[in-house]
A and B are shown apart, each in its own frame.
Chain A
Amino acid sequence: MENLKSQLNPHFLFNSFNTLDGLIEEDNKDRSLSFVENLTAFYRLVLEHGKSKLVSFDDELKLVSLYVNLLNERFEDSIVLEVQDTCADCKIPPLVLQILAENAVKHNEFNGQNILTIKIYRSENWICVSNNRRPKQYPVASSKSGLENIMQRYRLISNQEIVIEPSDLEFIVKLPIIYKESEN
């Protein structure tokens, strides 16, 4: 689990400081304050969740919403997070949704004209996380460590496989739903 926490990209922290610096420089008091609030709430959840093997799905939704909120301050609202279903009795390994959102941001090109839409919804026994694709033209090689990490944790925790469905237009990751009572 320590491993997992340390995987949270240090870029994110430094980029956040940089964004905050910009907001302060532009004398944007309200946005600076709400950014610090969100950043604090986000890291608090990361640290809390990182201690557990499984956490409540709805709490993870909060974590990923904060994450996208923080990114939107930097990317000027060009990311939309659509949560179509919540699931009060579902559990999920911590930071899985955040890692998938981070991957969507890392691999795609988006801006005010080309919005990145990340959707989270239920479909049968899956929690699906999808994003529209517009791959970066000049990418750096990806280590795929994010997906690998998620895959391994699902195997370890619930002996189930995640399903990855890439297409030209969309990238979908299907996570098997783990219900609260099945936790041991």
Chain B
Amino acid sequence: MTALLLEDEIIASNRLQRLLAEIDPDIEIVATFTSIQETANYLFEAAVQPDILFLDIHVLDGNSMELFKLLDITSKVIFTTAYDEYAVEAFRKNATDYLLKPIKKDQLVDAISKAKPTTKALIPALPEEQYKSRFLIRFGNKIKSIKTEEIAYIFSKDKIGFFFTRDGQKIASDYKLQDLEEMLDPQKFFRLNRQFIGHLDSIDKIKTHNASRLLISLKPAIDEEVIISTERTRAFKNGWMVKSIHINFRYHFNFFGLSRIKKKYNT
């Protein structure tokens, strides 16, 4: 079993590590941190989240409950605190257990047994989430969390992936479009061209542009021309647009144009 410790007091951290070693030598402490920032960075980059997170509530850069706003946490969480009158509600929502400091050994034993992964044979494995439900974007030394449903489109320029949200925010990230394409549900997001991935709902108007291309207006509006490249146009019309019949069409499909493209592909 793996565990991560967030605790900004060295004495308390040492105590917890010692108790864990005494209780179960198989618990591997993969990381110890003193700040929310470091913890978020670690979890953000970790391929697999540790089995248990021990989170001190008040740490040097804030309240560790904020982690739940930044990340999807799949680990079991055990909060630790010396005293907190408001925490109970939050515990109920997010935690497997909480421990009052100084931590007592028998209480820690209980908490760990609650957090132990249940025998896998008894519970059928849940299918893993296929697409991302939120993205974490770093700016400076902060992390911003964007829910996937808030994304209107993503625009890539000079190796920067700009997330445009439905409410008009523009947030720079280092995500690459080709990676994002795999993280986003193709039923909702479409790779428009080399620079854009757009959500279905962000397509405002469609016009023909040259015979084999489409010119798209996005909402919120952007100052760039969005032209669906020839090779994407076919997929766009055939698959994606047609499937997404609930869209409010302001554009009538130029099926003539489509057949011409087909012809071109056939030759």
Contacts and interface: CB of A to CB of B under 8 A. Distances in A.
A72 to B, nearest CB: 12
A109 B61 CA distance: 5
B62 A10 contact: no
A126 interface: no
B62 A139 contact: yes
A140 B84 CA distance: 13
A22 B9 CA distance: 10
Given A110-B60, A137-B62, A25 B15 contact: yes
Given A15-B83, A17-B82, A136 B62 contact: yes
Given A18-B101, A21-B102, A137 B11 contact: no
Given A22-B11, A137-B61, A140-B65, 12 more contacts: A15-B83, A17-B82, A18-B9, A18-B101, A22-B12, A109-B35, A109-B61, A136-B60, A136-B61, A137-B36, A138-B37, A138-B63
Given A11-B83, A111-B60, A138 B36 contact: yes
B82 A22 contact: no
Interface of B: 8-12, 14-15, 34-37, 58, 60-66, 82-85, 101-102, 141-142
B36 A26 contact: no
A18 B7 CA distance: 13
A15 B58 CA distance: 11
Contact of A140 (B12, B34, B62): B62
A18 B82 contact: yes
Given A19-B11, A140-B63, A111 B82 contact: no
Given A22-B102, A111-B34, A138-B66, A76 B10 contact: yes
21 contacts: A11-B84, A14-B83, A15-B83, A17-B102, A18-B12, A19-B11, A21-B101, A22-B12, A22-B102, A25-B11, A25-B15, A76-B10, A109-B61, A110-B60, A111-B34, A137-B61, A137-B62, A137-B141, A138-B63, A138-B66, A139-B63
